[in-house]
Chain A
Amino acid sequence: MKKILYGTMYSFKEIKNLKIFYSFLMFALILISGSYFVSQTSFISQGRIMVDFSIFAISIFNIFIGIFIGASVVYDDIEKKSVFLTITRPIKRTEYLAGRFLGLAAAIIFSTIIMMLIFYFVLLIMHKFIVPAGYFAGNVKAKAGIVSHIKNKRVKSAPAEKNSGKNITGKLSIVKPAAKPFTFYSLPQPLIIQALFIIIESIFISAAALLFSLITSKALASIFAILVFFIGSVSSRMNDLVKPVKKIINGKVVIMHQANHALMSIVHFIYTVLPNFSIFNISSEAAYKVNVSAGIIFYRIVYGICYTALLFIISSLIFARKDIS
């Protein structure tokens, strides 16, 4: 266990020094800051556009980090032969692999947190879309004015967002209520859940990229992972497309149109076998500040973690008998 931890720290340090990691991080930060200008093109609900745009940037760049670094984190180590010194120590190959993978996961978490922080600051400066935290805390009175002020402002700009003030997150609200001269604002709950989902999704796809990189080359592994991600994102919609179109006429269900049977089974197969990535995309909830229920959060996190673990187990079985030379 200790060895896995050291491996994680080492590979995290290594990834942090990678140029590709930096450039993706920088790119995402530029886009997030630039979301302000994008939002200026619209008269209404600029906050929503900023959120949509930034969440897109954050998720896509984290997925890129997951795919490209996932495909190279072990592959490059083998290619550059730096793996030789590691796995000839008294360490199991699975421990090594776990260390590398968890290091990558740590890097993804790190980059997401940084991006979210920047995003948070941009929103804070713009004074859009944030909710005052410490709602439950002691001196509500002092803040009540500001809260209602913001509420009014928001109701004016976007009437749909009525109960936005209630989206309080436990995480960021650990602020001592007493003697605070300013109000502490946090991101609304769906945004924070979205960040969590982005982390899980990126780690998930990086596990797939890692698995592919053990059996093919780095470039092919990245391409496969991108394909899996793409198909996984649209598979649920495709499944809907090939569903028979039904209508109720005179109390009877009548099938109006049915897709080709072979096509249907192919799409069905893809839908069941490939991971479903669309469940991690809750940008509409985030944009409209609709709270996500705990059950959904729990189910999706478990889904992501189980699938990732399965991919990792397959990877470690392959890696255990791989010739490294």
Chain B
Amino acid sequence: MIDIMNATKYFRVGFFGTKKTAVENLSLNIEEGKVTGFFGPNGAGKSTTIKMVVGLINPSGGNIKIKGYPASDCRSRLKLGYLPENPSFPRGLKGIEIINYYSKLLDKKINKDEIYDALKLAGIFYAKNIHAHKYSKGMTQRLALAVSILGDPEILIFDEPLSGLDPVGRKEFKDIIFKLKKRKKTIFFSSHVLADSKELCDRIAVLVNGRLIKSEDLEDIEKEAASYAEEKKDNLLTGEYSTPLEVYLYDLMLKSRKN
């Protein structure tokens, strides 16, 4: 579905334009009909990777293809919904006006019922006549989710869909992702909360310092975690992390960070 081949991205920062590598030689294949979780600490390059996939950023090297089209081609986004991290909307427009506008940008015709369905699924239907700049963060997130699932796209890309939500909101968002998963959508979402991984994902990819250090099925990675847990029995379950998988991933990230 989505093929990321040797994608590299560096930014030019500062006055002299020194290179700063954000993603390095990343190859990842996101399979159809599966939920892929994309994990990594802050600044790992998750958002950068996702932006390259949705065509916001041009990769410095390598290429990315969605259903055979390069990511820079707008046809690659015909059936793609994207939820950015910290979405926002222009001032002075109502939720319903905003979603109406976005529905017009799709290539197929979206009728009113479909818009209402999307709003209802995202749980923002009640606030559709309120100005979007008066929304709380969770409400804005929901409206952006409604926009991204408009037109029933096959591929859904969520950048930190759960950040900034209260426990109830997190639960609801997870339920929505579950619903979409049941509809056999291809979902690619990023998060730095390891606890999200297990319930939602079929596959897990871990990114640290711009490098992909793991990309496996959930079962395989759980097996690895179990054997890792047996190895170092003593200081397991420290602090925040309570399952072998979390501890395994956390230790992995720590290790690759040192290198």
Residues of A at the B interface (CB closer than 8 Å) are 2-3, 6-7, 9-10, 13-14, 16-18, 77, 80-82, 84-92, 321, 323-325
Contact = CB atoms under 8 A, between A and B. Distances in A.
A2 B109 CA distance: 12
Contacts of A13: 92-93, 97
A88 B104 contact: no
Interface of B: 11, 47-48, 51, 54-58, 74-75, 77-78, 80, 82, 84, 86-93, 97, 101-102, 104-107, 144, 147-148
Contacts of B11: 323
Contact of B90 (A2, A77, A92, A325): A77
A84 B89 CA distance: 10
14 contacts: A6-B105, A16-B92, A18-B92, A77-B90, A81-B86, A82-B90, A84-B56, A85-B82, A85-B144, A89-B102, A90-B107, A91-B105, A324-B51, A325-B56
A6 B77 contact: no
B174 to A, nearest CB: 22
A2 B91 CA distance: 24
A10 B58 contact: no
B56 A90 contact: no
Contact of B54 (A9, A82, A88, A91): A88
B82 A88 contact: yes
Contacts of B48: 325
Contacts of B74: 90-92
The 8 closest A-B pairs by CB, nearest first: A17-B92, A84-B84, A89-B105, A6-B104, A88-B82, A88-B54, A10-B101, A324-B56
Contacts of B148: 85
Contacts of A82: 87-90
B87 A84 contact: yes
Contacts of B55: 87-88
Contacts of B86: 81
A203 B91 CA distance: 23
Contacts of B57: 323-325
B133 to A, nearest CB: 9
B104 A2 contact: yes
B84 A81 contact: yes
